[in-house]
Amino acid sequence: MPHLGRQPDLAQLQSYVAELEEERGFSDQSARDKCLLLGEELGELFRAVRRAEGLKVDPSSRAADVADELADCLIYLCAIANRYGVDLEAAFRAKEEKNQARTWSRADAGGSPS
């Protein structure tokens, strides 16, 4: 069983996910497979947020916890990054440099910084 320290950085999380996938027999899944699974997890996250916000949800749907669903999404993001050899921390820092150079207007306030 792989070990994850108490305060891992993104590289350690990515490595941990790779080891877990190997151990659990998921390492042969493609990036496409992982993207589709991430999409499903995002739906579960959205349902959990709806529930947490007191919005109506299908009462027969399984109870979802926001923290659990966020963790699932992070696992799939790490798995996808691993398949493409992307260092998530480096990618985040590079993207944030681009975002810091952007000019944000009021119309952009509700949008994502992509």
Q: Domain ranges in the chain?
A: 10-88
* Closest of 74, 79, 73, 71 to residue 18, by C-alpha: 79
Architecture of domain 10-88: Orthogonal Bundle (1.10)
Residue 82 tokens, joined: 């691993």
Per residue in 27-84, pLDDT tens? 999 999 999 999 999 999 999 999 999 998 888 887 689 999 999 999 999 999 999 9
For residue 8, give the DSSP letter: -
CB 96 within 8 A of CB 114: no
- Rounded-to-integer distance, Cα 41 and Cα 32, Å: 14
85-104 pLDDT, tens digit each: 999 999 999 999 999 999 88
Cα(22)–Cα(45) distance, integer angstroms? 25
- Report the C-alpha gap between 22 and 7 in whole angstroms: 22
Rg of the chain on CA atoms, in Å: 17
Higher pLDDT, 4 or 40: 40
**Which structure tokens are listed for 103?**
């000019």
List strand residue ranges (DSSP E) for 1-114, in order.
none
